[in-house]
């Protein structure tokens, strides 16, 4: 049962040694908590950046569609999809 509890407790690995939070001194436990929060923030930011990039791709593609599909006969634009205006990702 002790092994099951050990597996559920948060731990870090330093020099191939797993240390659970209870193995750390008070200052180490505080630092450990900060590391956990920072890693969670990083994961959330990564998701946010993926959503932002998807939105950028969508709106860039939409502008290209609007410019290519609208226009008078006097001036018709044809914007090619480039790195500045990448195609919408599936």
- Give pTM, 2 decimals: 0.54
SS3 of residue 81 by DSSP: coil
Q: Which residue has the tokens 């290209």?
A: 64
DSSP-derived secondary structure letter, 21? G
Q: What is the per-residue pLDDT across 16-69, written as a single tens digit (0 to 9) for each?
A: 988 888 989 999 999 988 988 988 999 999 999 999 999 999 999 999 999 998
Q: Which residue has the tokens 């791709």?
A: 57
Domain boundaries, the chain: 38-70+78-90
């Amino acid at each position: 049962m002790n092994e099951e509890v050990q597996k559920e407790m948060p731990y870090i690995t330093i020099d191939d040694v797993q240390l659970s939070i209870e193995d750390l001194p008070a200052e180490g436990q505080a630092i450990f908590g900060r590391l956990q929060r920072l890693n969670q923030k990083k994961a959330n930011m990564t998701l946010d950046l993926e959503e932002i990039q998807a939105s950028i791709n969508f709106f860039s593609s939409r502008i290209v569609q609007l410019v290519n599909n609208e226009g008078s006969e006097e001036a018709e634009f044809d914007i090619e999809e480039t790195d500045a205006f990448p195609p919408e990702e599936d």
